[in-house]
Structure 1
Amino acid sequence: MRSWSAAEVPSLPVAAPQVCVFDTSTGQVVPTEPTGGARLYVCGITPYDATHMGHAATYVGFDLLHRAWLNAGHDVHYVQNVTDVDDPLLERATKVNVDWQDLAARETDLFREDMEALRVLPPRDYIGAVESIPLVIELIEALQQAGAIYQVEDDLYFSVTADVDFGTVSGWDREQMLAIFGERGGDPDRPGKRDPLDCVVWRGERPDEPSWPSPFGPGRPGWHIECAAIALEHLGTSFDVQGGGSDLVFPHHEMSAGEVQVAHPGQKFARAYLHAGMVAYDGEKMSKSKGNLVFVSALRRADVDPMAIRFTLLRQHYRSDWEWTDDLLWDATNTLDAWRLVVANPAGAPALPVVQEVLAALADDLDAPRALRAVQGWMEASRGGDTTDPDASATIRNLLDAALGLVI
């Protein structure tokens, strides 16, 4: 599957410091220590609807990590999946009377357009669930050899107790897991399961659903095994960061990690787990089921500057839960207009201290709000008459683009 086009990233006069991030599995801010290039996996969309602000906030957040690593001198191997076959997609296609493949292709194209507009750097490998089926089969066979797979009717399940570290990604106890598992794609009450938390890795063929041949019979992959197999194939074990929204902590990231760690004993799935906060609208988490969505594409069609959308997202720390409002967007639009007036003058306040402060803020758990405050301080000093640096505006524009993905 093709990715989207990459924006050119300007070079900066100084290198960024070592990047530290908040690791969900330890509850601490930890240094990232890439060896032989930084390796990042971020869980992608299920393409049955357009990109909403919850999606956008997540991918802009991890774009900050991508850029921080680049500015620190690391090559970055970024992988993202597309769950282009799954229950929500099939249900949506049936509801709107559209072929599921056509729906997936259309919404994936729209997602690409939204990411390009928001200047999110693309993954090196952009992999669909359908094209990863051979990888899924291979991983299931490895789990069978480890004795961690069993059958319930035509479906195959992963036994979570086979992973001695199960629960360490989320830090949740069984009571917490059971309370949420059914709401997030699990089937804790299915008869025949050995443990209510066991997850399906191969869903046997159902009437009127797509299926593919396998050694286990026709069917299709489970959700968690898809990401596990793709990450394992393209990044190997113990890659630097597994990322996604905070709603993926459990079960998705817990299950994916367990499957790889059982298939490869003694290896960690990822070194650190990063999770973006949830975005609300009208008082509730933004979600398709609630219908309270603000779409990137709808704003773009209304001639809203994509940089104002990105600026609005950057004003929130990537880990925080927050609520989208029109007032936030219009304030971001006005701020960008004011900044553009300042940088129209080539000279400004000394730029190098701002470069260093912005890079330091982003290296400290991707603190974009702190970085923006540093730039705002430079804007105010330059507007106030400090124009002692004759090339300051060009440096600041390059900084905003390279570190924050903003073009002004």
Structure 2
Amino acid sequence: MTLRLYDTATRSVRDFTPREPGKVSVYLCGVTVQAGPHIGHLRSGVNYDVLRRWLLRSGYEVTFIRNITDIDDKVLVKAEAKTVPFWALAYENEKLLDATYQKLGVLPPTYEPRATGVVTEIHELIKRLIDKGHAYAADDGSGDVYFDVRSFQRYGSLSGQKVDDMEPATDAPQRAKRDPRDFALWKGAKAGEPPEAQWASPWGPGRPGWHIECSAMTWRFLGEEFDIHGGGLDLRFPHHENEIAQSHAAGMPFARYWVHHALLRLGDAKMANSVGNVISLESLVGKGLRPVEVRYYLLAPHYRSVIEYSEEALHEAAVAYQRIENFVQRAYESVGATDAATDLPAEFVTAMDDDLNTARALAVVHEAVREGNAALTAGNAGGTRAALASVRAMTAILGVDPLDPQWSDAGAGRLEPVVAALVALALQQRTEARGRKDWAAADAIRDQLRAAGVVVEDTPNGPRWTVDAR
């Protein structure tokens, strides 16, 4: 089956055909690093990490770009409030973002450009747009340059809007715009703004507008045409609409597919630093969740489904992952090391090729776990080994293979070594009680552990314990 993706531009699921056979170029709109990342940002990272892993498994060579917006109104405001240079704040939050992605097992991008690194390309694009009659410098001496939205007939096609129905663009003052919807390509320097946030330009000192940054970064790192442009659905307008307008108006074919993920909501609002309703990975780990369980939670729904955040749903996702993990650990101890299968179950492949339907794909994983547990109970080593290999192959694609060193070495947080030591001590006492034939004491220790959620199983190699996943 051919990979099919929902293309926001055509509002349809269509076969994916890359521009160049065997190679795929992906650009993901990254984070404006005004603050540390929250799990809404992390959903984006995880969802497109799954897409990338599936493209790699499908035999493609993938160039994956994830940008950093390090110069923006929001960054400047936050930096001023903290009395630090904008670049220092941006870099600090960029490092936090990278560290958090690593904790979630998100593969590093091929390149991770910063907006401040493509100012030359931004100037070249703006000049091209002015020459083609799609942009103009403000005549009030401000140094602003705007894109003329009415000069581009298809403006509004991505979001399905008509220009006359749109709200005015809020990224710059209206004073010198030909139309209130025109958006800023270059923002002239303003009194009170730090000099380090200004660059020389043909229109005077200033800094780039938000939208032109991404067009410049895709152009520099992927060329005038590339395969997939990704990002959150909230970026569809105005950000991605404006990217399309300025890039096409400059003569670039730009993105062949637009793949947007739905938002993670907290109550009635999307999770966002600008709203202030954010939850970090660190706060969830502090509540006893492991990063792998958070990753499972973020990838379990279809990427186009809204996630309504709740602690109950998080706990349910953690329990579901523990079922997979407990089977893999038990099977590994029973049959030994087994590499991931080279062939994936047909149902899993069908699900992933069907617009990355991770919800259906995980249903296939859990069915394999049930079959594997049945084989374990029956003492069927061959069936156990096959199920283990299959489960590992599927979970590797999703980035949650329990035997991946990313997860097996990371532990369950700061409390895991303490818990493991306490359980080991209790099991030692139980073994000593059994050795002196004090069956009542041994059973009492087992029952106390069971009441605490620790299941003890006696095996030929000695007792083993797991956390109850029910």
1:329 paired to 2:318: no
TM-score by length of 1: 0.88
1:360 corresponds to 2:360: no
Q: How far apart are residue 143 of structure 1 and its match?
A: 1.1
CA deviation after TM superposition for structure 1 residue 326, in Å: 1.2
1:165 equivalent in structure 2: 154
- Aligned to 1:327, what secondary structure does the other structure show? helix
The AA in structure 2 aligned to 1:242 is H
Please report how far the alpha carbon of residue 69 of structure 1 lies from its aligned counterpart in structure 2 after TM superposition. 1.0
Q: Does 1:235 align with 2:222?
A: yes
Indicate whether 1:147 and 2:147 are aligned: no
SS at match of 2:116: coil
- Provide the residue aligned with 1:3 in structure 2: none
Classify the secondary structure of the residue corresponding to 1:85.
coil
In 1, the alpha carbon distance for the partners of 2:266 and 2:226 equals 34
Once superposed, what is the RMSD of the aligned Cα atoms? Answer: 2.1
Secondary structure of 2:34's match?
Answer: coil
**Equivalent-residue separation in structure 2 for 1:251 and 1:269 (angstroms):** 17
TM superposition shift of 1:262? 1.1
In the alignment, which residue of structure 1 is the partner of 2:145? 156
Larger displacement relative to structure 2 (219-228 or 297-306) = 297-306
Question: Which protein is richer in helix relative to its size?
Answer: 2
Aligned counterparts of 1:315 and 1:176: Cα–Cα separation in 2: 37
Distance 1:365 1:60 in 2: 15
Question: Are 2:372 and 2:387, in contact at CA under 8 Å, matched by a contact in 1?
Answer: no
For 1:32-51, list aligned pairs within 5 A: 32-34=16-18, 35-36=20-21, 37-51=23-37
What is the Cα deviation at residue 287 of structure 1?
A: 1.7
What residue is the counterpart of 2:296 in the other structure?
A: 311
Shift of 1:352: 7.9
Q: How many residues align?
A: 383
CA displacement at 1:301 relative to structure 2:
5.2
Of 371, 389, 397, the residue aligned with 1:394 is 389
Aligned to 2:235: 248
Match of 1:273 in 2: 258
1:277-303: CA deviation from partner (whole Å, max 9, x where unpaired): 111113422122332111123334555
* 2:56 is the alignment partner of 1:70: yes
Q: CA deviation at 1:59?
A: 1.7
Q: What SS is found at the alignment partner of 1:244?
A: strand
Residue in structure 2 matched with residue 5 of structure 1 by the alignment: none
Contact kept in structure 1, 2:27 and 2:229, CA below 8 Å: yes
Contact 2:143 2:205 in 1 (8 A): no
Aligned partner letter, 2:85: D
Aligned to 1:339: 324
| Preserved contact between residue 341 and residue 392 of structure 2 (Cα < 8 Å) | no
Residue 24 (structure 2) pairs with residue 24 (structure 1) = no
The residue type equivalent to 2:209 in the other structure is G
8 A Cα contact 1:47 1:84, kept in partner: yes
What SS does structure 1 have at the residue aligned with 2:106? coil
Question: Do structure 1's residue 208 and structure 2's residue 192 form an aligned pair?
Answer: yes
Letter in 1 for 2:353: A
- Displacement of 1:161: 2.5
2:55 maps to amino acid: W
Q: 1:376 to 1:354 in 2, by over 3 A?
A: farther
| Contact persistence 1:283–1:323 (CA under 8 A) | no
The separation in 2 between residues aligned to 1:283 and 1:247, in whole angstroms, is 15
Name the CA distance, whole Å, in 2 between partners of 1:227 and 1:212. 18
Closer/same/farther in 2, CA of residues 93 and 404 from structure 1, 3 Å limit: same
Q: Deviations over 1:289-336 (max 9, x none)?
A: 332111123334555311100110112111112211111222222222
Which of these residues, 186, 194, 200, is aligned with residue 178 of structure 2? 194
Looking at structure 2, the residues matched to 229 and 250 of structure 1 have their Cα atoms a distance apart, in angstroms, of 18
Q: 1:407 aligns to what?
A: 401
Measured against aligned partners, the alpha-carbon deviations of 1:113-159 in whole angstroms (never above 9, x if no partner) come to: 11111111222111101111111111111112112221223200011
Distance 1:299 1:27, change over 3 A: same
- 1:344-387 Cα distance to aligned partner (Å, 9 max, x none): 21469x97886332222122111111111110111112223374
Partner of 2:185: helix, strand, or coil? strand
Structure 1 stretch displaced more, 156-165 or 50-59? 156-165
- Equivalent in the alignment of 1:261: 248
Encode CA deviations 1:93-125: one digit per residue, 9 max, x unaligned.
Answer: 112233221110110001001111111122211
* CA pair 175-313 structure 1, distance change in 2 beyond 3 A: farther
**Structure 1: gaps (5+ residues):** 1-16
> CA shift at 1:397, angstroms?
1.5
Distance 1:28 1:99, change over 3 A: same
- Measure, in 2, the Cα distance between the counterparts of 1:62 and 1:299: 22
- In 2, distance between residues paired with 1:301 and 1:216? 50
Task: Select the structure with the greater relative contact order (CA < 8 A; seq sep ≥ 6).
Answer: 1
Q: Which of 245, 263, 284 lines up with 1:299 in the alignment?
A: 284
TM-score by length of 2: 0.77
Matched residue of 1:365: which SS?
coil
Structure index of larger Rg: 2
| 2:117 pairs with one of 131, 136, 146 | 131
**Alpha-carbon separation, structure 2, partners of 1:201 and 1:118:** 35
Q: Which residue of 2 aligns with 1:376?
A: 366
